[in-house]
Amino acid sequence: KAGVTQTPRYLIKTRGQQVTLSCSPISGHRSVSWYQQTPGQGLQFLFEYFSETQRNKGNFPGRFSGRQFSNSRSEMNVSTLELGDSALYLCASSFLTDPNQYFGPGTRLLVL
Amino acid sequence: GENVEQHPSTLSVQEGDSAVIKCTYSDSASNYFPWYKQELGKRPQLIIDIRSNVGEKKDQRIAVTLNKTAKHFSLHITETQPEDSAVYFCAASGGSNYKLTFGKGTLLTVNP
> What value, to the nearest 5°, has the Cα angle with vertex A74 and ends A110 and B38?
55
* Contact list, A105 vs chain B (CB under 8 Å): 42-43
Q: What is the pLDDT of residue A40?
A: 75
Q: Per-block average pLDDT, block size 10, for chain B (112 residues)?
A: 93 97 94 94 94 90 95 97 97 77 95 94
Could you tell me which chain B residue has the CA closest to the CA of A98?
A: B98
pLDDT of residue A98 exceeding 80, the answer is no
* Start-to-end Cα distance in chain A: 37
Q: What is the pLDDT of residue B95?
A: 61
- Nearest to B33, CA basis, from B74, B77, B86, B78: B74
Pair B23, B5: CB distance under 8 Å = yes
In chain A, the percentage of residues whose pLDDT exceeds 90 is 84
Nearest CA distance, A99 vs chain B (angstrom): 6
Q: What's the rounded Cα separation, in Å, for the pair A58 and A49?
A: 12
* Contact list, B107 vs chain A (CB under 8 Å): none
* Contact list, A106 vs chain B (CB under 8 Å): 43
pLDDT of residue A24 exceeding 90, the answer is yes
Residue A96 CB-density burial (10 A; 0-12 exposed, 13-18 middle, 19+ buried): exposed
